[in-house]
Amino acid sequence: MSRTSLTLAAALAVSLAACNPAPEPTLQYGSDLNLPQPKRGLLPQMVIASPDTWGDQLPAVPDGFEVRAIATDLGIPRQTLVLPNGDILVAEGRGGNAPKLKPKDVIAGPIKAAGTTSVKSGNRVTLLRDADGDGEYELKTVFAENLNAPYGLALIGNNLYVANQDAVVRFDYQPGQTQASGEPELLTLLPSDINHHWTKAMTASADGRFLYVGIGSNSNITERGMTAEENRAMVWEIDAATGMHREYATGLRNPTALAIEPTTRQLWAVVNERDEIGPDLVPDYLTSVQDGGFYGWPWAYWDGQVDDRVRPQNPDKVAATITPDYSIGAHVASLGVDFSSPVMGPEFAEGAFVGMHGSWNRSEPVGYKVVFVRFQNGRPVGQPIDFATNFRDDDGTTRGRPVGVTVDPRGAVIIADDLANIIWRVSRVGGPAVTPPPVTTPGDAVPADATAPATDAAPADSAAQ
């Protein structure tokens, strides 16, 4: 779309939004919600990020913590994985190939794109190494390239799994390795026709037997028809050895990040819910994912409230809808989740960090930060706590947008920023609050002291494009 067309589209969106300038209620968090009535219009109220550089600024973090950029000039970093020897893998890329269906798609698409990076998709996994443990990652090298919009990462024993937008593939991984030793092996194909929601989140079960992969819907609310939603809006359970898979949970519109809660070993997800029924509907959420559970999409949302846009209606599905555990607010675009440990200090010892990419369809933007949701006895409690902010100013100036969050067992939170193409590391001043435990992986663990440098290491700037 030309600059003139984009300007006209933006003007149209703003003028349409101005026709209904009703104040927006405060976001609701937790499990006990009083949701507003749905409101429909021709277009949602759109406020798009205005990208800018970080300059001499940094994300704001709590007292007692420090933040530094440990990698820059990446190719759209999405999710990260901390390996047992402390190396960090970064999945880089952008996918999706969904055709535009409605005038809204033609108008909103280019406007939304203006608030994202213009950097070319990396389609690779990059490895970062801090060999001397000083918090500076002096090695940045391509571990694997020529991938197809990689997103989810998991290590089970000596098998490294990467969830591309169309398949889960497997690499052999040896401790200290800095480059894949061969081409990836196909484990299983993933639904990829249309790929309206292309990201394929992934985590491994605590025992290492299974991989869980989140597969988003092909639409907002079935406007492409139900045939296009076959094997979509769900989590698959995949046998890590054979690639055999089954539906584990359904009705999850877009499960964008998955993690295992360490005390209960329960699978949890953050989910992006549906749009176009108001600025405070429907809440994105953090929830445990039950085997065989149904979470509402497309027929219902939250606690079984009917979405009357869906035809035909399905009362049985509405009645079967499981209410999510914890609302994190409508349209925050939650794209990352990981569970903490005592190394992060008493105030962040038990709970989940959530990366919020940020809204585009509210007149009062929300998200654009990392929050911490406290847990007690394996369940979320209280209000979310801001952990990393300053990504966006009130005037729309946006320096970064958080995606994946990963807790380094050595005492840090790793944040992927796909607008600035930076990896941030947030750690306690003076080191971890407690002595870090031995690092293990699901299944057969790679030794935690595997820190010997590999002979195939590339120059420190080899991944910079």
332 vs 355: CA distance, rounded Å = 9
Mean pLDDT of the chain: 90
Q: CB neighbours (10 Å) of residue 447?
A: 12
- Whole-Å CA distances, 463 to 145, 179, 458: 10, 12, 9
Is residue 28 assigned to a domain? no
Q: Is residue 374 part of a domain?
A: yes
Domain for residue 465, yes or no?
Answer: no
> Chain centroid to CA 90: how far?
13
Contact 221, 254 (CB under 8 A): no
**Cα 397 to Cα 8, 47, 49, 177, 415, distances in angstroms:** 21, 11, 7, 40, 20
Q: CA–CA separation, 268 vs 257, rounded Å?
A: 8
Range of the domain at 171: 3-21+42-428
Contact 295, 302 (CB under 8 A): no
C-alpha 300: how far from its chain's center?
A: 23
The CA distances from residue 99 to 119, 164, 193, 218, 344, in Å, are 22, 20, 11, 10, 44
Distance, in Å, from the CA atom of 145 to the CA atom of 147, rounded to the nearest integer, reads 5
Q: Which of 28, 47, 48 is nearest to 285 (CA)?
A: 28
In a domain, 169, yes or no: yes
Spans of the chain, pLDDT less than 70: 1-25, 42-44, 102-108, 444-465
SS (H, E, C) the chain: CCHHHHHHHHHHHHHHHHCCCCCCCCCCCECCCCCCCCCCCCCCCCCCCEECCCCCCCCECCCCEEEEEEECCCCCEEEEEECCCCCEEEEECCCCCCCCCCHHHHHHHHHHHCCCCCCCCCCEEEEEECCCCCCCCCEEEEEECCCCCCCEEEEECCEEEEECCCEEEEEECCCCCCCCCCCCEEEEECCCCCCCCCCCCEEECCCCCEEEEEECCCCCCCCCCHHHHCCCCEEEEEECCCCCEEEEEECCCCEEEEEECCCCCCEEEEECCCCCCCCCCCEEEEEECCCCCECCCCCEECCCEECCCCCCCCHHHHHHCCCCCEEEEECCCEEEEEECCHHHCHHHCCEEEEEECCCCCCCCCCCCEEEEEEEECCEECCCCEEEEECCECCCCEECCCEEEEEEECCCEEEEEECCCCEEEEEEECCCCCCCCCCCCCCCCCCCCCCCCCCCCCCCCCCCCC
Hey, what are 242's tokens?
């054979």
- The number of distinct structural domains making up the chain is 1
- Identify whether 34 is part of a domain: no
Q: Is residue 222 part of a domain?
A: yes
Nearest one of 365, 369, 371 to 396, comparing CA atoms? 365
Q: In this predicted structure, what is the pLDDT of residue 25?
A: 53
Residue 214 falls inside a structural domain: yes
Please give the Cα distance from 272 to 329 (Å, whole number).
Answer: 10
Residue 320 lies in a domain: yes
Give 6: exposed, middle or buried? Use CB within 10 Å, 0-12, 13-18, 19+: middle
Residue 146 has what pLDDT? 98
Report pLDDT for 17.
42
Cα dihedral 359→362→366→367 (10° resolution) = -10
Q: What is the CA radius of gyration of the chain?
A: 21
CB 250 within 8 A of CB 230: no
Give the per-residue pLDDT at 37. 94
Q: Measure the CA–CA gap between 202 and 406, rounded to whole angstroms.
A: 13
Quick: pLDDT tens for 14-69.
444 434 444 545 789 999 999 999 998 766 678 989 999 999 999 999 999 999 99
The per-residue pLDDT for 450 is 39
Question: What CATH number should be reported for the domain holding residue 285?
Answer: 2.120.10.30
Report the alpha-carbon distance of residue 296 to residue 306 in Å, rounded: 9
The two structure tokens encoding residue 364: 């009062």
427, 82 contact by CB (below 8 A)? no
